[in-house]
Amino acid sequence: MVASSPVAAARALAALALLLVVGQAGWNMTGPMTQQFPATFYYRNLETVSQFNRYTTIAGSERLWDDIDPGSPYVLVNVQHLFPVNDHLLPLCGTTLAYAEHPLSYWPYQYEGFTPSQRAILRSSDIAMRLVDIRPSSPALGPRTHPVGALRATPPPPALGPRRTQGETMPTALHQDQFDGCLPPYQALQHQNQE
């Protein structure tokens, strides 16, 4: 009876270690297995809002899109591959209607083609994909002069990275008229769509 006691203890310890390894593997896989890619987010929200504009919070990733409606109050933010990564841009002011983490929020993806300085920019920026309503006010919701994410969707967006302050230089001409840590939407969209 005494000889089987150490064997039983070793088996219990091995079972506990196996359980911990399987639990950690499951936890590690929840990020990549539940993520949405930009195309999925785009088509999911296209069913709700058929006309929209686009914006990105990463300087260098701005593009000319052929599917935008400059007069639409709805903006798809970061719904694209974010490359090249040159610097942060301020988030838009508005109300978040739909939210999903960008695939590049999963850190292992940042080691494919990004330099250490680009990874630092991605990690300190708000790169979540969002559908944002940029109208200044709505009878139901009142004034909307807060950064994207202040009215939280489900699940709640992560905390935004460091924000630029009044007078701090930005990589593009978007440094004027910022308020409450976010950028007036029409100015930002006009700049990105003209490049």
The answer to whether 162 and 110 have CB atoms below 8 angstroms apart is: no
Please indicate, yes or no, whether residues 24 and 102 belong to a single structural domain of this protein: no
Could you give phi then psi for residue 38, rounded to 5 degrees?
-55, -40
CA distance 167 to 61: 23
User: Within this chain, do residues 27 and 92 fall inside the same structural domain, yes or no?
Assistant: no
Yes or no: say if 93 and 163 are a contact pair by the CB < 8 Å rule. no
C-alpha distances in Å from residue 99, one per residue of 4, 8, 107, 132, 174: 55, 49, 19, 9, 24
Q: Do 89 and 12 share a structural domain? A: no
Number of domains the chain is built from: 2
To the nearest 10°, the Cα dihedral for 10, 15, 17, 19?
-170
Query: CB neighbours of 27 closer than 8 A, spacing ≥ 6?
Result: none
d(CA 113, CA 119): 10
Q: Kindly state whether residues 20 and 75 are assigned to the same domain.
A: no
Q: Looking at the structure, tell me whether residues 50 and 138 fall in a common domain.
A: yes
Cα separation, 194 vs 163, in Å, equals 24
Residues 82 and 13 placed together within one structural domain of the fold: no
23 and 50 inside one domain: no
Instruction: Give the global pTM.
Output: 0.65
Identify the domain containing residue 190 by its residue range. Answer: 35-194
Q: Per residue of the chain (195 residues), give pLDDT as tens.
A: 445 688 899 999 999 999 999 999 998 888 778 889 999 999 999 888 888 888 899 988 877 677 788 788 899 999 999 999 999 888 888 888 999 999 999 888 999 999 999 999 999 999 999 998 888 764 434 443 333 433 333 333 333 333 333 333 333 323 333 334 676 665 566 555 555
Residues 63 and 78: beta-carbon distance below 8 Å: no
CA distance 11 to 150: 51
CA–CA separation, 20 vs 69, rounded Å?
51
**Cβ contacts of 64 within 8 Å, gap of 6 or more:** 193, 195
Distance, CA of 151 to CA of 132 (rounded, Å): 11
- Do residues 186 and 161 share a domain? yes
Q: Which residues pair with 77 in a beta bridge?
A: 55, 130
pLDDT at 187: 58
